């Protein structure tokens, strides 16, 4: 496994493979890797001749400096895991390598980037598009793999890829969960054991809502999910939206769309830690 810290080293590592016509897949990550990331890497290894994994905590997608500072980092542990998974190239650059000059590009893809996370984290998706577009330019992959836990992010990246006419297939991969249902996330490492247990109420409530849907309206299910989670000590809902799976616009009736997803963000603990999850209704 080759570890490249510069764009030139990355290009050198991929030149022979690209010249030989080998397919290249990319798994973009911010490190602190867990089994969710591992599932993306395994699929990338299986479906491509060359698997590239980027490990880079992108500062332009954080609108909270404290959140950026506290984001978990452990490159050596990440490298050990990636080597065991069969990754071929790891791109682990510095901020200065990715952004030798400030990136002043702006990306706008309403309505998918103006709701939920986009509404509450100004500039977040612009930063995501900045870094992902750069990674696509550096790596030139045929396929890129993203976890469905970040459901809205996939929609935004797809919109960007179409807008820039990039020849990259965006591959969404299912959420990987702990045995108790908690969605795997690098942020879980910031939770105390007690908070970690408390956080499982998020998926329990979402799964219960699949039953509530049978007898309740969209509005009633949305309200009941928020009330149930907020009644759990240590949890506070930032938002819970039931949306069309493609446009990410709110739906008012269960028959309004053939693809309906419930997307949630919850603050857990005293610090607190911001956790996101989603569930598909149809």
Mark 11-47 as b/e (b = at least 16 C-beta within 10 Å): eebbeebeeeeeebbbbbbbbbbbebbbbbbbbbbee
37 catalytic? Reply is yes
Identified catalytic residue from 15, 17, 34, 37: 37
Of 266, 114, 156, 214, nearest in space to 278 by CA: 266
Mark 172-205 as b/e (b = at least 16 C-beta within 10 Å): ebebbbbeebbbbbbbbebbeeebbebbebbbeb
Strands 143-147, 169-173: pairing is parallel
CA 99 – CA 82 distance, rounded (Å): 25
The residues that are catalytic are 37
């Amino acid at each position: 496994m080759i570890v490249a810290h510069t764009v030139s080293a990355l290009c050198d590592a991929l030149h022979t493979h690209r010249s030989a016509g080998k397919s290249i897949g990319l798994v973009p990550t911010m490190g602190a890797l867990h089994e969710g990331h591992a599932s993306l890497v395994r699929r990338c290894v299986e479906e491509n001749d060359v698997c590239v994994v980027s490990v880079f905590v992108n500062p332009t997608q954080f609108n909270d400096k404290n959140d950026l500072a506290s984001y978990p980092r452990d490159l050596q542990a990440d490298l050990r895991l990636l080597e065991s998974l069969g990754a071929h190239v790891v791109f682990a650059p510095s901020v200065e390598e990715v952004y030798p000059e400030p990136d002043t590009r702006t990306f706008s893809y309403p309505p998918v980037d103006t709701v939920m996370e986009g509404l509450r984290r100004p500039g977040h998706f612009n930063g995501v598009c900045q870094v992902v577009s750069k990674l696509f330019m550096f790596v030139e992959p045929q396929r890129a793999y993203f976890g469905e836990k970040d459901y809205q992010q996939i929609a935004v990246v797809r919109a960007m890829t179409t807008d820039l006419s990039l020849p990259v297939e965006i591959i969404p991969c299912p959420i990987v969960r702990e045995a108790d249902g908690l969605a795997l996330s690098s942020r879980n490492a910031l939770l105390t054991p007690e908070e970690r247990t408390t956080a499982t109420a998020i998926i329990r409530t979402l799964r219960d809502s699949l039953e509530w849907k049978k007898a309740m309206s969209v509005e009633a299910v949305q309200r009941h999910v928020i009330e149930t989670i907020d009644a759990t000590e240590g949890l506070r809902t930032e938002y819970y939206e039931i949306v069309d799976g493609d446009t990410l616009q709110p739906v008012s009736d269960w028959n309004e769309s053939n693809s309906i997803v419930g997307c949630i963000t919850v603050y857990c603990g005293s610090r607190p830690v911001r956790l996101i999850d989603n569930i598909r209704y149809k």
